Amino acid sequence: MNQSKARTGGVNYGWVIVVVSTLALVVSNGLSTTGIPVFYKPMREEFVAIGAVAPGYAESFVANGAYLTFLMSGVFSLVGGWLAAKFDLRVLMIVGCVMLGGGLLLHSQTVSPELIYFARFLMGASLGFVGVAPNVLLVSNWFTRRRGTALGIVLTGTSFGGVLVPLVAAPLIAVYGWRTAMFFVSLMIWLVLLPAILFLVKSKPENQSRMTNDELRAEVVSENSLDSSVQNLQSTIQKPDFTLIEALQTPLFWIFALCAAAIFYAIFAVSQQLNLYLQSPRIGFSAQQAAFAQSLLFALSVAGKFLFGYLSDVFSSTRVMLASALAMFLSTLAFLHFNEQTAYFFVVLFGLTYGGMFVLLQRLIPDYFGTREYGKILGVVIIIETIGAAIGGKITATLADSAGGDYARAFYGVILATGTALILVGALNIIRSKEKHSPIASA
């Protein structure tokens, strides 16, 4: 057992860790991925105006930086996981802060596209040290019995970063310009997050091996419930428990992985390029309106995570994913007649299902393939998701460039992606239904 009752002023110190980790995800994700699109339009316009980027390449210039950050976040999450076994987590998180803060400072000052890409590289790499993976590990070190609750709170930080950063940055951009605004928001790292990590983070409890009274009581309850556990043993045995190699040999895995790639095609294009579409002459949103729409999308994604997570505990998780995929597809039909009114319809419905899909993809991997090599299977799925996201960003930007910066035709690809995901989720439901009614499953 590894939950500590180390206390500060009567408070379990693990909850202090939860607060710091939530702050870390709000700042790190908000300033590297979910909140950064608010800077894209003024940055793009300046680089075209000074001749650093050709007008016909402007949308690709923005997209290249975005999916470079996303790709590096995946690569360095693996690197950070390996380093976490060798170094103190607190040290790695400090390194991540320096990389993210340094990347933002460089980004705010350079007039070179190549240095912009290097800055985005640093920002993506920083997530391997101060993003989701290290913070999940940190919180897991402090909790056992309430780990699910603690992690659920922390992971909302990935969405709240997309809510808060645009609301803070948009007024600063309007008054001071995007470069000064980016410098100001980078102070959230140097003046808030870095000191919190330096002075509050403890990588693990000092007496990690000691079992607390609460945990002892939990063990007694567990022993008293042995009879009910035995009754559930038969159903537990029936659950799959694949190795990675075994999972890769099943049609179920590839249908699921391609579905995840299609979903992340849509998620990436929307999270990174919708802000530009909303401010295009076709839609006519102001910078502040676009920032509000982006914040609303991520706020609703938090609600979607809770809603669809709850529904997946009450109903078949595969059926819930089908409902979520259908709602996501319906939301993207707004792009057929996109205007100020349909934009908000899209933001509300897509925001809810974006959060839902994010949770369901994590939930279904152990449901489908067990926990024997969950980490390895998840790692392969993340790589495929990243490829889907990169393709989505590239296609969307290329189509927008070919149309002179008009995103209307480019976002038809998002409709195609969500439609593909819906078909694949339907296939998952058919496969799972056949498995449940097979002679082996009913034996």
Q: Using the predicted structure, report yes or no on whether residue 216 has a pLDDT greater than 70.
A: no
Same domain, 163 and 303: no
| 8 three-class SS | strand
pLDDT at 61 over 90: yes
Concatenating the DSSP letter of every residue in 71-108 gives: HHHHHHHHHHHHHHTTS-HHHHHHHHHHHHHHHHHHHH
CATH number, domain with residue 115? 1.20.1250.20
Distance CA 42, CA 174 (A): 10
Measured CA angle at 410 (ends 282, 31), to 5 deg: 85
Strand, coil or helix: what is 11?
strand
Q: How far apart are CA 443 and CA 217, in angstroms?
A: 37
Q: What is the pLDDT of residues 343-399, one digit of tens each?
A: 999 999 999 998 888 878 877 887 888 867 766 787 788 788 888 988 998 999 999
The answer to the question of residue 212 being in a domain is: no
Residues 190 and 256 in one domain: no
pTM, full prediction: 0.76
**Under 8 Å between Cβ of 288 and 52:** no
Residue 340's pLDDT is what? Answer: 84
State how far Cα 251 lies from the chain centre.
Answer: 26
Element (H, E) at 188: none
Domain boundary among 205, 226, 261: 205
| 267 shares a domain with 174 | no
Identify the domain containing residue 50 by its residue range.
8-205
Nearest C-alpha neighbor of 40 from the set 418, 400, 415, 414? 400
Q: At residue 8, what are phi and psi to the nearest 5 degrees?
A: -130, 110
Identify whether the C-beta of residue 278 lies closer than 8 Å to the C-beta of residue 289. Answer: yes
pLDDT at residue 4 in the model: 47
Q: What is the mean pLDDT of the chain?
A: 85
pLDDT surpassing 50 at residue 274: yes
